[in-house]
Structure 1
Amino acid sequence: MRLRIFTEPQQGASYDDLLAVAQATETLGFDAFFRSDHYLAMGDHVSGLPGPTDAWTTLAGLARETESIRLGTLVSSVTYRPPGVLAIQVAQVDQMSGGRVELGLGTGWFEQEHLAYGIPFPAKRFGMLEEQLEVITGLWGTPVGETYSFSGGHYTLVDSPALPKPSQARVPVIVGGGGAKRTPAMAARFATEFNLPFPDFADIPAKFAGVRAACEAVGRDPQELVYSTALIAVAGADEAAFTRRAAAVGRERAELREHGIAGTTGEVVDRLGALAADGVECVYLQIMDLADLDHLDFIAREVVPQLD
């Protein structure tokens, strides 16, 4: 099982804060550093200071200040950037990183941040997501010297040179969500990874089965996809350490144990083992206290060695 560090900078983090977490992620041997793509803090008692950072600007900087970890978004919203612009941004950051970028793309859901920064928030966005996935992968897949055109309900591209190209032959594309039909169908068509964000544990096997069925329906081998989930992580060597970290992120211990990767070392190892048994191949550990780098060190030192 691969473990990735997943951050929520809109809750309050500077670029330097994120750099420190990304460099610790790399030094400690985690697989990747991912961040959300939001512009407004969530929660009544969260200031969000010093203010939002842009996801792809952040990843461009980290591309030059890290060497080995994968870098990506979980997930970018289709409402923020036209697909042609996003394709250029991701390809450039992939070049800057030497081919370490992954793109998570979703419909977006947080209307208030759109209102706060003047970003249009259409009521129907699944069609936008489907077209963006088709356009972005189409631009990257167009041979050099040829052009790419697309005409859809939301986007039109005419004779695009489809440049620049990413360094990777295929940038991993992550599609996720809990929908029963449209999301699995899009993952089957366009994704290299399907992600379940913050699911109820009991729902995971059925959700993955739905994606596998969607793959089979379009003649794709379901094993080509990576199956992942994102869950909050709060762990400690003993109950006192766990209690302290739970309080630092404003969450109740019982609730964390019910819904997250949480508790003492044995509990965390057991939870990850149960997820693996349900078919989870990769876990995005949502880390909410970015100042607590000892938390990452603890997970790397005490938890990771016990995983198969």
Structure 2
Amino acid sequence: MDMDLHITRFDWAGSPAQIGPGVARLARTAEAVGIKTLSVMDHYFQMEAMAPAEDPMLEGYTTLGFIAGVTERLRMRVLVTGVTYRPPGLLAKIVTTLDVLSGGRAELGLGAAWYEREHKGLGVPFPPVAERFERLEEALQICLQMWGDNDGAFDGRHYQLAETLCRPAPVSSPRPRIMIGGGGERKTLRLVAQYADACNLFGGPDQVSHKLDVLRRHCDALGRDIREIEVTALLSTPDDGTPDQVLRAAEDYAAVGVATVMARAVGNDPAGKLETLFGPAVERMKAIEPKAL
């Protein structure tokens, strides 16, 4: 079993001038303790459910480009990119650039987007949810076409591209891995079954187990092996927890088929917390064998 790290806040770093050094230290620490993949949110305002919208928030792909420059092995993704924020052809080019410059360490996380306030605040169109899911599927198709051998046109309902030219090609072979976030049973998990290399599911082990049953049915309907899809879940542990508590929580997820748990960067010193709470658990976690799906 692996552990990833997800950054949801930047207020711990201090002033704007301190955010860069703070993020660099956190990323280097994550790499040093054995974190596999580091992710950041795709938000322009902080989520109000977590903290005031006015709290500091960084643009995701610029942040990952910076992290790529201060690390050597750490994989990177946005968890997850909102389909509304960037035209899909541009998104494919951005992820390709990150992949090329990082030596093949970029992944694409993609979802239907939801945070209406930041859309309205920054003038980003926010279509109805049904249309956002239609755009999500077209965006996936466009990225796959740009990372394949077909440089021709794409003529969709919402996106029309005269050329899907993407040079240089990604370093990742055969292309950057695709993660789809969310657990919607009718649309999201069907898209996971059809397009994704990984999924990110919310909730405790029982909820994740139910979602995996739904995902399996979608995979069976499409003739796909569910074992081809990496299952990830966010790990909930108290800020004052212990490495043993982290391991027990990870074991509960592994028992339902989760292959990778994601720790959140927590506290006022998340790099220090990585060293004392999550770091000691990472190597022991590799001995945990997830349930076969």
Shorter chain as denominator, the TM-score bin is 0.7 to 0.9
Normalized per residue, the structure richer in strand is: 1
Offset at 1:301? 4.2
Say if 2:275 is the partner of 1:271.
no
2:99 paired residue number: 94
Offset at 1:76? 0.7
CA contact (8 A) 1:80 1:119 kept: yes
Match of 2:207, SS? Answer: helix
Superposition pairs of residues 1-308 of structure 1, within 5 angstroms: 1-9=1-9, 14-43=19-48, 46=52, 48-49=54-55, 51-124=56-129, 125-141=132-148, 143=149, 146-169=150-173, 170-197=175-202, 199-235=203-239, 242=240, 263-289=241-267, 291-307=269-285, 308=287
2 CA distance for matches of 1:204 and 1:15? 35
CA displacement 1:264-295 (0-9 Å, x = unmatched):
33332211111101101001112233633221
1 CA distance for matches of 2:119 and 2:11? 16
CA displacement 1:205-251 (0-9 Å, x = unmatched):
1101211221121111111111111234434xxxxxx1xxxxxxxxx
Deviates more, 1:150-159 or 1:276-285: 150-159
CA contact (8 A) 1:9 1:53 kept: no
Compared with structure 1, are the counterparts of its residues 11 and 187 closer, same or farther at alpha carbon in structure 2 (3 Å cutoff)? farther
Deviates more, 1:185-194 or 1:90-99: 185-194
Offset at 1:52? 2.8
CA contact (8 A) 1:29 1:300 kept: no
Match of 1:160, SS? Answer: coil
Offset at 1:43? 3.3
1 CA distance for matches of 2:120 and 2:53? 17
CA contact (8 A) 1:71 1:101 kept: yes
Offset at 1:5? 0.7
CA contact (8 A) 1:79 1:108 kept: yes
Compared with structure 1, are the counterparts of its residues 214 and 289 closer, same or farther at alpha carbon in structure 2 (3 Å cutoff)? same
Match of 1:288, SS? Answer: coil
Deviates more, 1:91-100 or 1:11-20: 11-20
CA displacement 1:145-203 (0-9 Å, x = unmatched):
x5221111110112332333111122110012121121111111110001103x13321
CA contact (8 A) 2:181 2:199 kept: yes
Offset at 1:12? 6.7
Offset at 1:16? 3.0
Letter of the structure 2 residue corresponding to residue 7 of structure 1? I
2 CA distance for matches of 1:120 and 1:16? 34
Q: Structure 2, unaligned stretches of length 5 or more?
A: 14-18, 288-293
1:238 paired residue number: none
Match of 1:148, SS? Answer: coil
Identity %: 32
Compared with structure 1, are the counterparts of its residues 191 and 47 closer, same or farther at alpha carbon in structure 2 (3 Å cutoff)? closer
Match of 1:27, SS? Answer: helix
2 CA distance for matches of 1:11 and 1:177? 26
2 CA distance for matches of 1:27 and 1:230? 21
Letter of the structure 1 residue corresponding to residue 146 of structure 2? L
User: Which structure is richer in relative contact order (CA contacts within 8 A, separation 6 or more)?
Assistant: 2
Match of 2:39, SS? Answer: strand
CA contact (8 A) 1:31 1:70 kept: yes
